[in-house]
């Protein structure tokens, strides 16, 4: 079996290069070597969060791994057969306090979609809403419904919030296996706006904080001309080990959803949190494309696995997305093209491989 060789300095040089490689290695049965891991980051090499992703995927496909240690800049990964069933992932196993549960879930999701049976996945001692990763409500309310349009069935729920820096959050998910390839996705128009949902989440803080966040978001949206009949407000106090807050805004259109969030921080008012999320929505709203900048990145792997041609139109083409396309094409021989410039509106097209479990290269057990 030929090894896939990846240079971690590719594109934006971040951790998504490793996470995409882990998912695709398990799915295709192709081993990979990666060097210069996270070369584009301030602290290069494997951080505890990335090592947790390696451990999670290793557990699912009984992989043989070398170089799996904190600060390592090189890794070899040889996948075995994909398993399914009950999995519990301890996000702080590598002494990480608020590592993102969302990023671990997104790494194991495509693998377990192509397992033989349904899997129940639990996550403990991690971050549920932390910087530089999608909050779990984004996955539950935007990402999973979108891949659901392609035939994927999964859910993820917070059972205990985990805020930066302490973490301590927990979540539970279920992933059901695919019986047929993912359907392609054509999503180039928004259609009519059906609702704007405001979720104000907080823990270990006065109720007024959650209320002020929601009120500010609702007020600004109304002032901008959005009908009060479109606005839905949910204020939730979540159990947690430490204080924290998040404002999440979900825009639901005829054709799909987009999401925008902001996190609280020491010295940051509830109104500032709301303004940050609403400003992100306004920027998206005026650009006209249906797929928000973060969702476009997250859909690429699924477009490559789907059966046939897909096209999505995004408000903002990121270097993250361009990097992810390069990694995907290292494992899958699928046409993927981009029409548009980085930082601008763009269309991304892919003719997917029509992946199913039987398409996986049979390697047997890794050489031990």
Tell me the sheet residues that pair with 88: 122
Dihedral sign, CA of 51, 73, 75, 32? positive
What is the distance between the alpha carbons of residues 243 and 241, in angstroms, rounded to a whole number? 7
Tell me the sheet residues that pair with 231: 196
- Phi and psi at 165, nearest 5°, equal -95, -5
Q: What is the 3-state secondary structure (H, E, C) of 268-328?
A: CCHHHHHHHHHHHHHHHHHHCCCECHHHHHHHHHHHHHCEEEEEEEECCCCHHHHHHHHHH
- Phi and psi at 142, nearest 5°, equal -125, -60
- Phi and psi at 231, nearest 5°, equal -90, 130
Q: What is the dihedral of CA 203, 108, 139, 276, to 10 degrees?
A: 70
Q: What is the dihedral of CA 99, 332, 112, 58, to 10 degrees?
A: -60
What tokens does 87 get?
Answer: 């999995």
Nearest residue to 62 via CA among 134, 10, 135, 111? 111
What tokens does 185 get?
Answer: 């996705």
Other beta carbons within 10 angstroms of residue 36's beta carbon come to: 17
* Catalytic choice (50, 294, 316, 320): 320
Dihedral sign, CA of 285, 288, 292, 293? negative
Characterize the bridge pairing of strands 119-126 and 86-90: parallel
Nearest residue to 139 via CA among 182, 95, 172, 97? 172
> Catalytic: 320?
yes
Where in the sequence numbering do the catalytic residues fall?
Answer: 320
């Amino acid at each position: 079996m030929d090894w896939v060789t990846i240079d971690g300095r590719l594109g934006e040089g971040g951790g998504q290069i490793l996470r995409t490689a882990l998912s695709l290695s398990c799915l295709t049965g192709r081993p990979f070597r990666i060097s210069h891991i996270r070369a584009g980051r301030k602290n290069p090499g494997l951080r505890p969060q990335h090592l947790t992703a390696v451990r999670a995927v290793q557990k699912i496909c009984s992989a043989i791994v070398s170089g799996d240690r904190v600060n390592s800049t090189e890794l070899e990964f040889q996948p075995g057969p994909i398993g399914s069933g009950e999995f519990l992932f301890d996000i702080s196993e590598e002494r990480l306090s608020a590592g993102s549960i969302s990023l671990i879930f997104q790494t194991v999701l495509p693998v377990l979609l192509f397992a033989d049976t349904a899997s129940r996945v639990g996550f403990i001692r991690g971050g549920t809403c932390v910087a530089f990763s999608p909050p779990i409500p984004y996955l539950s309310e935007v990402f999973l419904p979108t891949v659901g349009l392609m035939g994927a069935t999964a859910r993820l729920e917070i059972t205990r919030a985990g805020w930066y820096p302490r973490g301590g959050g927990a979540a539970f998910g279920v992933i059901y296996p695919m019986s047929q390839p993912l359907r392609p996705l054509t999503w180039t128009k928004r259609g009519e706006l059906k609702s704007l949902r405001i979720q104000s989440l907080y823990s270990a803080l006065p109720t007024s904080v959650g209320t002020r966040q929601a009120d500010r978001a609702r007020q600004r949206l109304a002032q901008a001309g959005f009908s009060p009949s479109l606005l839905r407000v949910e204020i939730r106090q979540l159990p947690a080990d430490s204080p924290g807050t998040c404002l999440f805004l979900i825009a639901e259109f005829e054709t799909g959803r987009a999401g925008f969030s902001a996190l609280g921080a020491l010295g940051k008012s509830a109104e500032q949190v709301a303004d940050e999320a609403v400003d992100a929505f306004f920027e998206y709203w005026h650009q006209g494309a249906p797929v928000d900048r973060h969702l476009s990145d997250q859909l690429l792997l699924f477009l490559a696995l789907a059966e046939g041609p897909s096209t999505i139109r995004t408000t903002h083409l990121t270097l993250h997305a361009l990097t992810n396309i390069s990694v995907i094409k290292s494992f899958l021989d699928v046409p993927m093209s981009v029409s548009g410039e980085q930082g601008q509106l763009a269309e991304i097209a892919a003719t997917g491989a029509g992946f199913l479990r039987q398409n996986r290269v049979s390697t047997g057990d890794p050489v031990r």
